[in-house]
Amino acid sequence: MPIVLFLVWSTLIGAGLLSATLQQGVTPVDYQAYQRAAAALAHGATPYQTPAQSLAIWRSYHHLKVRLRTAHARGTPRRARGGGLLARTQPGPYLYLPTLALLMCSTFAVFRRD
């Protein structure tokens, strides 16, 4: 029973946070990959990036990690470290079934940006 209550509680909190974020007109980075995939499917394209595009995204994550570690090693204040670096975070490559992107975007119509 405690597990069920925890799952219900965490689902409600997550849905509430997502709803509040979407009402502000901001798509969380977690859902931008679904949005991009659904937009590609709507235009008859594949939801997946090319290997070169996916590799560029993973390399950008690695580059960000290196920059954050370097800033930390230099003793840069925590507030200054994340500000400009994390603001440019991009969604990861789409790795899931195409139907998942369509489901997410039909469920959350706010994702659609035609």
DSSP string, 56-74: HHHHHHHHHHHHHHHHHHH
| Digitized pLDDT (tens) for each residue of the chain, 114 residues in all | 788 888 888 777 777 776 776 677 666 777 788 888 888 888 888 888 899 998 998 898 888 888 888 888 888 766 555 555 555 567 888 778 878 777 776 776 555 554
- Look up the pTM and report it: 0.59
pLDDT at 52: 94
Q: How far apart are CA 47 and CA 95, in angstroms?
A: 9
How far is the C-alpha of 8 from the C-alpha of 72, rounded, in Å? 38
